[in-house]
Chain A
Amino acid sequence: MSVIVFVEIDNQQYKKSSLEAISYGKKIAQTMGISCIALSLDTLSDTATLGTYGADRVISLSHNAAFTSDNSAQLLADACKQLSAQIVVVSNTYTGKSLAPRLAVALDASLATNVISLPDTNGGFKVKRGVFSGKAFAYTDLSKSTKVLAITPNTFDIDNSGSSATVETLAVSAEASKISIDKSDKEMGKVPLTEAEIVISAGRGLKGPENWNLIEELADLMGAATACSKPVSDMGWRPHAEHVGQTGITIKPNLYVAIGISGAIQHLAGVSSSKTIVAINKDPEAPFFKAADYGIVGDAFEVIPQLIHALKN
């Protein structure tokens, strides 16, 4: 029996969300008295260091398949069967969410996505999940003997107090993929919005797309990702991938700064789990001030330059 953690690689590095997943998997393994195994689709120069985050064993898969959603899931499922997986942990990223359902079917497992708690294993297996786009949480009992959990990034701490592990290899196989990947465009070095620790977001208060240089400068200085409100993405000022809110992306960074966004219920739903929220708006009645930890009632065009100035000093 084992807890298997699937680790994702981006730009030849393990993703932070995957390191969180290993530390999370280790805690479950300890509670259940079984081992925690980190599974990597490739071997990197630092694969052995996955042990420091809590993996008892680190396994790199040996195979000759291309990575598509259908056959990556088959490769992982093959590995999970060979390693008697009881719990499979993936990150709730686009990659993780593509794989988790296919894995759940292949392993005849219960599936839970948006998981934000360690399981309560007293007399069952219960996890807390984000539902209603951040407006509520659901405690969900998983009843099948195997479970696939997709855990929300930025929710669990990384514990790197373990020691380096020996990298083992495991041969796995999959059918030929029916999918051809024709092109992949990634902005190198840019942290995906769902995994960013700091997010600077702006709304209609910025008056036009030409003013986003202010937001980008502020974000660069703070090491933040940029986001926007629904109207801004609807008007085409910013790409839809930046839209956070109920019908956009749900995020939970350490710090969320909302500039010129009134704070409609649909927007708040997508960001209210952020650890610290700052609202900057010239309207003192803006609903965002009720959901924020810190607020500045002022004009964005006067406040942002002050913040930029303070950050440069």
Chain B
Amino acid sequence: MSVVPDTTTKITFTENNTLFNKDGVQFIINPYDELAITRGLELAEANSGSVTVVHVGPAENEASIRKALSMGVTDSIRIDALAIDAQFVAEQIAEIAHGYDLILTGRESIDYNGGAVCGLLGALLNIPSANVVTEINYADGTFSFTRDIDGGREMMSCKGPVVASAQKDLCEPRIPNMRGIMAARTKPLQIVSPKTIVNASQVSSYESPAPKSGVKLIDPSNAQELIHILRNELKVI
């Protein structure tokens, strides 16, 4: 589970564009991870299983872990480190991911958009990975998935353990109820020290997109002018 800036956040940077500016930013559970948690809960409930949520991040993110617990998650692990990149996160999770039947991630986090942790975990644990899934079912020891592929979708299946990344449409995110919120207060949150790894990458600086120079308005009664511009001036159609 990743903790990311709320989708309405205006993204700015500090320290000479080397650090994301957290000032006044509301942090939330990554929206795709909320889907992963929800579907994980639904599958566990139907098969008398349990769900563990794992987060790589600092103590200040524990409010989001408690939210996951209040959704119905059984227990939680926080790996006490700042996430450096997808490879760092996957290496940390791989350390504690043995023994689970199904590992779920989001399709990507909406901050760094790497979309890599699912495949990295699959390779590190030498298990199958199913990227960008919109359906997960389980019967008789076999998981079946529907996943987005370029220009269409694919139905695939395999035995567990398997890792999959959640795409929109997988389910409706579960909203915690009062009983869940009360229960979450006393659910286990284990804090684990990170494994030392060699960094694969490091962000050196950030940049914001250049602002648009200004819109050129076209008279709505003469809309065909737009086609003329696109065809003859910009030559894009």
Contact = CB atoms under 8 A, between A and B. Distances in A.
A95 B149 contact: yes
A258 to B, nearest CB: 12
Interface string A291-313: 11111111100110011011100
Contact of B157 (A102, A179, A186, A273): A179
A101 B158 CA distance: 20
Interface in B184-234: 198-209, 212, 215-221, 223-224, 226-230, 234
A265 B9 CA distance: 8
A247 B111 CA distance: 11
B218 A296 contact: yes
Interface string B152-187: 111111110000000111000000000000000000
A10 B151 CA distance: 9
Contacts of B202: 140-141, 143
B96 interface: no
Contacts of B110: 132-133, 246-247
B129 interface: yes
B144 interface: yes
B169 to A, nearest CB: 5
A143 B11 contact: no
Nearest to A132: B11
Interface string B99-113: 000000000001111
Interface stretch (A21-29, A45-53, A110-118): A110-118
A180 B8 contact: no
Contacts of B116: 97, 100-101, 104, 111, 113
Interface string A115-159: 000000000001010111111111111111000000000000000
Interface residues of A, number: 99
Given A133-B110, A182-B144, A69 B206 contact: no
Interface string B110-126: 11111111111011100
B237 interface: yes
B111 A132 contact: yes
Given A114-B114, A295-B215, A179 B223 contact: no
Given A102-B129, A178-B128, A182-B156, 10 more contacts: A133-B113, A135-B208, A138-B206, A140-B204, A141-B201, A182-B155, A240-B168, A289-B217, A307-B223, A307-B227
